[in-house]
Amino acid sequence: MKNEDRDALLTALYVKIDDELEAERWMGCPPQLSDAELVTLAVAQALLGFRSEARWLRFARKNLAEMAGWAGYGYCASHTRFFWGLRLYLVCTPTGMPILWALANPKLDEREVLQAMLDVDEDLVADRPGLLIIADKGFASKEFENDLVMRGAELLRPSFKREKKRKGEGLLKSVRQLIESVNDTLKGQLDLEQHGGRTFEGVAVRVAQRILAMAAAIGRNHKTGAPSTRSLAAFDH
């Protein structure tokens, strides 16, 4: 079984088991493994044909503990699938130039991740009075919007069906195209999803490598007046 097939199988298995089990309760220090993780490992041992528990534990530590404690299980709506890994957050200018990025456990609230990113680089908003941050519905929250206002920024997002149309929603269609274009550059031209990193440092460095490459291309294309700011065609030799 290929590694990607094995990982996809174990991810789906864990999600199913975790959904079926009742919420865990314990007294004192929490266990090192959740019930869902323990059951998944037990089933995986049988599925992968390990009769010896010692051999299975050696295999699991070497092959199934990548980025443990940092990555997590999440759901990708655009691909309609569960995944195990990290979620990439990007803050870009209207030309697609990345100015802030972060990797985070997909279980974390994305609003909290963005707030943490803005905390790290407080000058980002301070140097741009009236900054407009455009995001999707997942960032909807009165508390979150108030926090942005306190920082000197404003949130533009799609409205829910129960809401009145929000100011500036007409801009969102073109912004969606920009987001898809940035994603296509990172995934299609720079092979972001095939980075090959297996450790905290390895993944972070490889993701940073792709983002810096895209930033360099955008900067160069902007200065030379290229028709597409995110095109890497001039460098594809």
Quick: pLDDT tens for 79-118.
777 777 889 999 999 888 999 999 999 889 999 999 999 9
Q: Are residues 14 and 114 in the same domain?
A: no
Nearest CA-CA partner of 85 in 72, 70, 101, 104:
72
Q: Are residues 118 and 28 in the same domain?
A: no
Give the integer Cα–Cα distance in Å for 68 and 32: 11
Q: Are 104 and 113 in contact (CB under 8 A)?
A: yes
pTM beyond cutoff 0.95: no
Give the integer Cα–Cα distance in Å for 197 and 47: 26
Q: Are residues 60 and 125 in the same domain?
A: no
pLDDT for 235 equals 64
pLDDT reading at 22 higher than 90: no
Q: Are residues 106 and 9 in the same domain?
A: no
Structure tokens at 14: 């864990």
Give the integer Cα–Cα distance in Å for 27 and 191: 45
Structure tokens at 64: 């199934």
Q: Are residues 57 and 8 in the same domain?
A: yes
Structure tokens at 126: 């301070």
pLDDT reading at 7 higher than 50: yes
Q: Are residues 31 and 92 in the same domain?
A: no
Q: Are residues 37 and 91 in the same domain?
A: no
Q: Partners of 88 in the beta sheet?
A: 103
Q: Are residues 15 and 44 in the same domain?
A: yes
3-state helix, strand and coil shares in percent for the chain, rounded to the nearest 5: 50, 15, 35
Q: Could you say which of 17, 32, 65 is where a domain stops?
A: 65
Number of domains in the chain: 2
Q: Are residues 108 and 184 in the same domain?
A: yes
Cα 213 from chain centre? 19
Q: Are residues 61 and 98 in the same domain?
A: no
Residue span of the structural domain in which 41 resides: 3-65
Q: Are residues 97 and 55 in the same domain?
A: no
Structure tokens at 40: 């998944």
